[in-house]
């Protein structure tokens, strides 16, 4: 990844802040809605750039331990799906559910971390 400034994360942040601070307050209706959608999409990109790599690595390590095999993340997820369909994971229910919960929590944290906060 290039080391020039501004870097990718800084560019995405600048566009998100521009939309939030300058465009959003000055538009209405459908354009305001689409501006909020764009801001949310850019926030997802920011979180993915910051945390996605570590989340993928953790998921891959869990899959390797669970399946006792090696491969990339796509291959390992495909292998997990095949193993589940074939009933090969039935004796590892607790480990499987733990992995799936952690993976789902990571995906939610990227999409919208507020969904992980209990409402009171």
* Residue ranges of domains in the chain: 8-111
* Burial of 51 (C-beta count, 10 Å sphere; 0-12/13-18/19+): middle
| Residue-wise burial string across 60-87, b where 16 or more C-beta atoms lie within 10 A, e elsewhere | bebbeebbeeeeeeeebeebbeebeeee
Q: Which residue has the higher pLDDT, 4 or 58?
A: 58
pLDDT at position 3: 77
What's residue 118's pLDDT?
86
> Within 13 A of 85's CA, how many CA atoms are on the CB side?
6
120 pLDDT above the threshold of 80: no
pLDDT at 67 over 70: yes
Closest to 45 (Cα-Cα) out of 110, 112, 109: 110
């Amino acid at each position: 990844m290039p080391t020039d400034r501004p870097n990718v994360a800084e560019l995405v942040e600048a566009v998100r802040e521009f939309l939030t601070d300058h465009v959003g307050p000055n538009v209405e209706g459908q354009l305001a809605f689409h501006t909020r959608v764009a801001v949310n999409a850019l926030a997802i990109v920011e979180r993915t750039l910051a945390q996605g790599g570590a989340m993928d690595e953790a998921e891959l390590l869990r899959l390797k331990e669970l399946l006792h095999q090696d491969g990339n993340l796509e291959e390992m997820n495909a292998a997990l799906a095949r193993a589940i369909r074939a009933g090969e994971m039935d004796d590892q229910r607790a480990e499987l559910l733990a992995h799936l919960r952690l993976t789902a929590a990571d995906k939610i944290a990227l999409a919208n971390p507020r969904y992980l906060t209990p409402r009171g």
